[in-house]
């Protein structure tokens, strides 16, 4: 029987270092700056030709990332220029428009060997799909990655950040991590892209919830965030995600950064909700899109369809939609009791405690004595 031809690898070759960042908002611009600093030949694609011309003229994104000079090596163009020479395509667009951008990638000349990386921290409508699941359906999981973690854009380019590059393909995750490390930014490589994405979605929802309840008490704000993370974790677990993704840099680490940041859009959106500002007016008040304002409803819908009991996430969605008054939202947060733990018999190796106790006795041989 003749040998079958081996499938062609879809990932960039080891020496390939051409990246295109689609979307010139604050985070997309910051990522492009870091990639250029890390030695990657990087192009930042702006939404319109007018925006691209302005960025090239100023060599600074005054609208979204003022005070950060664009590296001389960073090329800026409009999205119409295409992707024909890209090895890595990073999508820095709001999750609500991600499906349309993904659908247009082949027509934009996406090479068959190019990796596609989502930078969104929201979910894709109409079903609340994690972006990498949508991308993997079209391009294969081995070509797909995401980036998460505490990464306030301005601070990231000046002081550093704690990023997570996640992919089902080890080499892709390690390559992305190395690019950011060379730019002076800590970046963990993870094999749990869905967990990292859901951690970001939980973080956005929890930060908004904390902002909406903080004036009613710090305990209520903490409970709101904790409930949401627990509810999202039960959903993530069903998709095969790992708990460390939600308690690590991409989850609780990012939540602390967002909750403490005075300029956090998600927390500020929660505060405006608590002030009675209608949800549709909040992005205009803040001056930018607020990912959580749209992703919370999608998150609640995804949890419901998965059969996950999620009263706090659902209540937050209703608060944003104007269906639940603030006092009822706070009461819901304060009175919700999570499902009880599932007790299991302890799994401890036989003789473990005896060996541990023996090592604590005076004169007992330590690990060095037995060569372990």
In the set 69, 112, 182, 203, the catalytic residue is: 203
Beta-strand ranges (E) seen in the chain are 18-22, 41-46, 60-61, 65-69, 75-78, 88-91, 115-118, 144-148, 162-167, 186-190
Cβ atoms of residues 14 and 178 within 8 Å: no
Question: Which pairing describes strands 60-61 and 65-69: parallel, antiparallel, or unpaired?
Answer: antiparallel
Q: How far is CA 46 from the centre of its chain?
A: 21
Cβ atoms of residues 210 and 269 within 8 Å: no
Dist. CA 165–CA 197, nearest whole Å: 11
Give the 3-state secondary structure percentages of the chain, helix then strand then coil, rounded to 5.
50, 15, 35
Within 13 Å of residue 237, how many CA atoms lie on the same side as its CB? Answer: 10
Dist. CA 302–CA 138, nearest whole Å: 21
Is 203 considered catalytic here? Answer: yes
Beta-strand ranges (E) seen in 119-180 are 144-148, 162-167
Q: Would you name the residues annotated as active-site residues?
A: 203
């Amino acid at each position: 029987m003749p040998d079958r031809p081996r499938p062609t690898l879809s990932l960039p070759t080891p020496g390939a270092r051409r990246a295109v960042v689609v979307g010139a908002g604050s985070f997309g611009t910051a990522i492009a700056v870091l990639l250029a600093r890390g030695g990657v030949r990087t192009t930042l694609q702006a939404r319109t030709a007018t925006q691209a011309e302005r960025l090239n003229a100023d060599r600074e994104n005054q609208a979204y990332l003022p005070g950060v000079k664009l590296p001389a090596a960073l090329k800026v163009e409009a999205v119409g220029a295409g992707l024909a020479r890209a090895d890595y395509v990073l999508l820095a667009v709001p999750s609500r428009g991600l499906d349309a951008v993904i659908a247009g990638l082949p027509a934009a000349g996406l090479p068959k060997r190019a990796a596609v990386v989502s930078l969104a921290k929201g979910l894709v409508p109409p079903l609340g799909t994690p972006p990498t699941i949508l991308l993997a359906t079209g391009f294969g999981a081995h070509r797909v990655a995401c980036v998460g973690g505490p990464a306030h854009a301005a601070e990231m380019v000046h002081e550093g950040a704690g990023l997570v590059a996640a992919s089902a393909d080890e080499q892709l995750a390690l390559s992305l991590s190395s690019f950011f490390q060379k730019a002076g930014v800590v970046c963990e490589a993870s094999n749990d892209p869905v967990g990292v994405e859901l951690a970001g979605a939980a973080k956005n929802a929890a930060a908004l919830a904390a902002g909406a309840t903080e004036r009613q008490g710090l305990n209520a704000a903490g409970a709101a965030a904790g409930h949401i993370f627990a509810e999202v974790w039960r959903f993530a677990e069903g998709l095969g995600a790992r708990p460390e993704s939600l308690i690590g840099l991409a989850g609780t680490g990012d939540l602390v950064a967002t909750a403490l940041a005075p300029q956090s859009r998600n927390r500020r959106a929660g505060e405006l909700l608590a002030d009675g500002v209608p949800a549709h007016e909040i992005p205009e008040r803040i001056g930018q899109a607020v990912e959580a304002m749209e992703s919370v409803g999608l998150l609640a819908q995804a949890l419901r369809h998965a059969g996950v009991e999620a009263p706090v996430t659902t209540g937050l969605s209703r608060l944003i939609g104007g269906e639940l008054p603030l006092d009822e939202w706070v009461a819901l947060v304060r009175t919700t009791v999570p499902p009880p733990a599932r007790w299991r018999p302890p799994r401890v190796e036989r003789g473990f405690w005896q060996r541990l106790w023996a090592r604590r006795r005076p004169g007992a041989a330590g690990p060095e004595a037995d060569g372990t």
